Amino acid sequence: MKVLQSGFSWPSLFKDVHTMCRSCDRCQRLRKLTRRNQMPMNPILIVDFFDVWGIDFMGPFPMSFGNSYILVGVDYVSKWVEAIPCKHNDHKVVLKFLKENIFSRFGVPKAIISDGGIHFCNKPFETLLAKYGVKHKVATPYHPQTFGQVELANKEIKNILMKVVNTSRRDWSFKLHDSFTMGIQNKLQDYSWHVSLSPSLWQSMPSPYGS
């Protein structure tokens, strides 16, 4: 700019200025993006109840009747939470949980969100989701808000269990279901999720076994 303002000129002036600006790191960082270089606008994704679930493991906790972990599933629309105590945090537990607690009860979702743990990122897990046409979205540390619903549920479960377990904390798996039902689900009714229990919704749920 100082060269231009000083009145100097040569045949390739404008070409040289353009080249210099393109190679200037500060210029590239601060310049306004052109429409061509902007990130494409994604359409708003419309989802219904039980279309998108987040899943995560909690633990390990003190051994309780053979269980050391809690596997949690959260519906991102209704905020409904499913949770089971489990001995291990492996893919076999995850597959059984999806089949028995999610697919068979709420229908086949459109997407499952998880972290990048090996219990979620493995061949059997991907095979199951591919079989039913379910997309797997892996939350990354760069976008922690993607996993926010699950982390909120984990926090609520932990807070309630701390209030109802005994001093040894070894009865948490026994107390999980009752405290979970009475505490978390009642609290989440503030989100008016109960409309999802209408007969018309249950009848329209996609079956894992086909129509």
Which structural domains are found in the chain, ordered by start? 2-37 (no CATH), 52-204 (3.30.420.10)
* Closest alpha carbon to 156 in 112, 187, 198, 119: 187
Q: From the first residue on, what is the mean pLDDT of each consecutive set of 10 residues in the chain (211 residues)?
A: 58 73 67 53 69 95 95 91 94 98 96 95 98 93 66 86 84 81 58 41 51 49
pTM above 0.75, yes or no: no
